């Protein structure tokens, strides 16, 4: 498994039909191929139900899109860190704008993920909350203004000042936390702009999943990112 180091790309499959079941496996293999070609860290976050299938098919990191902050036990229908880890996940996205958590759930989920050796990427909607979330020491904070999600306006080019403040806020709290940005990432220039501002990676979804040619998309997106 590759080491978590910038530039970091996390591909969120959400519940898109184009990224379900066999199609999730296919997209993950594309990500694996580009990851090898570029020598950069690319993780995929398929739906919970596809984690096993995807993690058996690729060697790149597989993240859960969400974890409920619960230990194994009753909890019918919930998603535990223990179970996704057992199925091959090595990380988890938490508090995505589409799946927000209570502040105490976030604290608890990060703790439980750590105990289960799952890397955590906590999403934030504002630069202030990016800093607040850094207090819980996740491995990554991904700053994603909700109003840009699934648009073609990227946070790094549309809100550079907010991104810069998110990065500063997180790093002031704990320099080892990686700051990613998300929402509206469509082109290589969006990623380059993000890295120039000090971000260490990007979280993206529809740009990749819905691309006419996801392989070409990802190849272009990751051009000349590596040093």
Closer residue to its own copies (CB): 99 or 196: 99
Using rule CB under 8 A, residue 165 touches its own copies: no
- The verdict on whether 98 is a catalytic residue reads no
Which residue out of 66, 96, 108, 200 is catalytically annotated? Answer: 96
In this structure, what token pair is assigned to residue 163? 């991104």
Positions in 168-197 near its own copies (CB under 8 A): 169
The CA–CA distances, whole Å, from 47 to 13, 14, 79, 89 equal: 7, 6, 11, 11
The DSSP 8-state label assigned to residue 88 in this structure reads T
In this structure, what token pair is assigned to residue 142? 């991904």
The crossing angle, in degrees rounded to 10, of helices 214-221 and 22-38 is 30
Tokens 């819980």 — which residue? 136
Q: At closest approach, how far in Å is the CB of 106 from its own copies? A: 6
- The verdict on whether 96 is a catalytic residue reads yes
CA distance 14 to 22: 15
In this structure, what token pair is assigned to residue 70? 């619960």
Instruction: Classify the phi-psi angles of 21: left when phi > 0, otherwise alpha if psi is within -120 to 50, otherwise beta.
Output: left
Positions in 69-98 near its own copies (CB under 8 A): 70, 72-80, 82-84, 86-87, 93, 95-98
The contact pattern for its own copies, residues 193-222, with x = CB under 8 A and - = no contact, is ------------xx----------------
Among positions 5, 36, 49, 216, the unique one binding its own copies when judged by CB under 8 A:
49
Task: Please tell me the number of Cα atoms within 13 Å of 224 on its side-chain side.
Answer: 7
Using rule CB under 8 A, residue 38 touches its own copies: no
Among positions 2, 48, 151, 188, the unique one binding its own copies when judged by CB under 8 A:
48
Using rule CB under 8 A, residue 36 touches its own copies: no
Q: At closest approach, how far in Å is the CB of 82 from its own copies? A: 7
Give residues with Cβ within 8 angstroms of 24, minimum separation 6: 13, 44, 46, 47, 50, 53, 54
Positions in 53-72 near its own copies (CB under 8 A): 53, 64-66, 70, 72
Among positions 58, 69, 120, 125, the unique one binding its own copies when judged by CB under 8 A:
125
Cβ-contact 8, 59 below 8 angstroms: no
By DSSP bridging, strand 119-124 and strand 140-143 are: parallel
Active-site residues: which are they? 96, 144
Binding residues (CB under 8 A) for its own copies: these are: 12, 14-17, 20-22, 47-53, 64-66, 70, 72-80, 82-84, 86-87, 93, 95-104, 106-107, 125-126, 128-129, 131-133, 135-136, 149-150, 169, 205-206
């Amino acid at each position: 498994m590759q080491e978590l180091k910038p530039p970091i790309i996390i591909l969120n499959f959400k519940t898109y039909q184009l990224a379900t079941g066999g199609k999730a496996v296919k997209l993950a293999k594309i990500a694996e191929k580009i990851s090898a070609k570029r020598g950069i860290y690319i993780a995929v976050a398929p739906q919970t139900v596809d984690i096993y299938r995807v993690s058996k098919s690729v060697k790149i990191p597989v993240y859960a899109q969400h974890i409920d902050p619960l230990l194994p036990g009753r909890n019918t229908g919930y998603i535990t860190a223990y179970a996704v880890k057992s199925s091959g996940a090595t990380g988890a996205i938490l508090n995505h704008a589409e799946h927000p958590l209570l502040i105490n759930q976030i604290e608890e989920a990060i703790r439980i993920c750590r105990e289960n050796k799952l890397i955590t990427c906590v999403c934030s909607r504002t630069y202030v909350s990016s800093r607040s979330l850094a207090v819980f020491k996740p491995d990554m904070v991904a700053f994603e203004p909700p109003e840009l999600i699934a648009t073609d306006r990227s946070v790094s080019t549309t809100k550079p000042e907010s991104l810069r403040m998110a990065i500063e806020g997180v790093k002031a709290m704990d320099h080892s936390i990686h700051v990613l940005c998300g929402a509206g990432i469509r082109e290589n220039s969006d990623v380059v702009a993000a890295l120039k501002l000090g971000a260490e990676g990007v979280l993206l979804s529809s740009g990749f999943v819905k691309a006419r040619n996801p392989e070409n998309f990802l190849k272009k997106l990751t051009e000349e990112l590596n040093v």
